[in-house]
Amino acid sequence: MIKWLLAWRYFFKRPISILAITAVTLCVFIVLVVMTVMNGLVRDFKQKNHDYAGDCIIEADSLVGFGYYEDFIDLLLKQSYIEAVSPVAKGVGLLSGPGGVRNIGIEIHGINPILHSQTTNFGQTLHYQKQTVSDVFRPQYAPGRNGCVVGIDLMGFRKPSDGSYYHPDNPIPLELVVNAFPLNIKGGLQRSLDLVSTKSFYYSDDSHSGLVRVDGAVVYVPLEQGQILCGMDVPIKRISSIHIKFKKGVSGRASVGQVRQLWADYAAQNADKPGGDLFANVHVQSWQENRRSVIAPMEKEQTMMTMLFLMLGVITVFIVFVVLYMIISHKSKDIGILKSIGVSISDIIWMFLLFSVFIALIGALLGSAAGWGFLYKVNDIEDWLYEHYEWQLWNRSVYAIGEIPNKVEMDVLAVIIGSTILACMIGATVPSLQAARKKPVQSLQVNQL
């Protein structure tokens, strides 16, 4: 019983406890804020990639693409675990504005907007035609003309000051010229045309996926137009990828495996047809595998941050170690007294461990509360800083985020609090053992000097 009482009294009566609590509070505060923001950024980034790609992608390595896709799509749609499928014709080209000025390198994505919205989050990325996706390629100001959807960063709808987006009330009438390089089935430039395939589109909407590389490079056009531009309409109709959405509740991993098997069988059956050799360049991937090259760096960054905060944990351990070491040095007499009245070694160890747990708990609770409060207001704080000092933590023109992620995850919080308690107990272990090993006579005599 005495260990509880003394641990509690040491905790309240020693001013040095306040220093230890402050150190723990600051560590927990920093870890909680950075982990929440980092986890939020990574989670959002992954979600945006998932939304962009769908659940599974069958994609050709080369820009030539692959043919005979219609039969395979029919086959896919017969599968019970598949909800929607969207073929996409991709190519590269140049986009120029009125008068041919401002040639920008782009990716052309030929899509069926309805199928693509069913398979991916495409419909939700639109600004004007979220509710009328089927008409997305019909400009509101000129419904009879070919429309296109442009990645939002290609339109320059950003405020140069803080990088946030703005939109006119209605789509601005704008003719955009797309120059593409149509490839033949062998991968060479098609010579039947003028080497370059040129087509005018009218801006009908923009797409904001939140992925910088997509929003700054992709121009969506109707699938058939995309195939023509990219030379995929002759002699065999080709596409670059098929995006698939699985039904809710099915295992993504198992379903990807099933699609992979279906594709392998289909490719084997059609390998002898003209252009069948293109199947060799086609891969079936989950969205994670397909977007690996963009997600991995962010995950690495997250891992690096975690490692840095492990170091912060080590510092916490050291602070608690120093604090307890100092307390034990000053409480040498008490240890001697406790031993003289028969307090056991284990109780003395537990007394200092409990003391460290009190520090950890109070520090963790204060740090969590401060972190939660800061995160709750972080976007307001950032807005205020920008308004008064024109200082922005994350420039919206550099980082593809609408606002700073600030949702505290309970499991992360529990891990932080648990780790804090553990770290403090580790820091207290050596001084506690040292205290318990002190000879009572030495402890009592030292104090008399």
Q: Radius of gyration of the chain from Cα atoms?
A: 31
As beta bridge partners, residue 197 has: 180
Pick left, alpha or beta for residue 336 (phi over 0 → left; psi -120 to 50 → alpha; otherwise beta): alpha
Which of 4, 318, 376, 384 contacts other proteins by CB under 8 A?
A: 4
Q: Is 6 in the site for other proteins (CB under 8 A)?
A: yes
Cα separation of 225 and 229, whole Å?
6
Q: Which residues pair with 96 in a beta bridge?
A: 177
> In whole angstroms, what is the distance from residue 247 CA to residue 229 CA?
33
13 binds other proteins (CB under 8 A): yes
Among 126, 338, 357, 423, the residue binding other proteins under the rule CB under 8 A is 338
Does 88 bind other proteins (CB under 8 A)? Our answer is no
Q: Which of 187, 344, 395, 409 binds other proteins (CB under 8 A)?
A: 344
Region 347-366 residues binding other proteins, contact defined as CB under 8 A: 347
Quick one: which H or E segment has residue 72? helix 69-77
Crossing angle of helices 15-53 and 345-389, in 10° steps, is 60
Q: Name the residue nearer to other proteins (CB basis): 1 or 307.
A: 1
- When asked if residue 297 is in the footprint of other proteins (CB under 8 A), the reply is no
Q: Which residue's CB is nearer to other proteins, number 1 or number 101?
A: 1
Among 345, 381, 412, 430, binds other proteins (CB under 8 A): 345
From CA 68, how far away is CA 61, in angstroms rounded? 16
449 binds other proteins (CB under 8 A): no
Binding residues for other proteins restricted to 308-337, rule: CB under 8 A:
333-334, 336-337
Q: Which is nearer to other proteins, 26 or 337 (CB)?
A: 337
Nearest-approach distance from CB 334 to other proteins, in angstroms: 6
* Exposed/middle/buried for residue 399 (C-beta within 10 Å: 0-12, 13-18, 19+): middle
Nearer to other proteins, 292 or 439 (CB): 439
161 binds other proteins (CB under 8 A): no
CA 223 to each of CA 20, 60, 90, 111, 176: distance values in angstroms, whole numbers, following the listed order: 64, 16, 9, 4, 17
User: DSSP character for 237?
Assistant: -
347 or 382: CB nearest other proteins:
347
Phi, psi of 428 (to 5 degrees): -90, -15
Q: Give, rounded to a whole angstrom, the gap between the first and last alpha carbons of the chain.
A: 31
Residues in contact with other proteins, counted by CB under 8 A, come to a total of: 27
CB of 330 to other proteins, least distance (A): 11
Please report, as residue ranges, which positions from 384 to 443 form the binding site for other proteins (by CB under 8 A).
439-441
Q: Residue 307 or 341: which CB sits closer to other proteins?
A: 341
Identify which of residues 108 and 343 has a Cβ nearer to other proteins in the complex.
343
Phi/psi for 56 (5° steps) reads -150, 145
447 touching other proteins, by CB under 8 A: yes
Give the residue carrying structure tokens 């099933």: 258
325 burial (CB, 10 Å; 0-12 / 13-18 / 19+) is middle
Site residues for other proteins per CB under 8 A: 1-2, 4-6, 9-10, 13, 333-334, 336-345, 347, 439-441, 444, 447-448
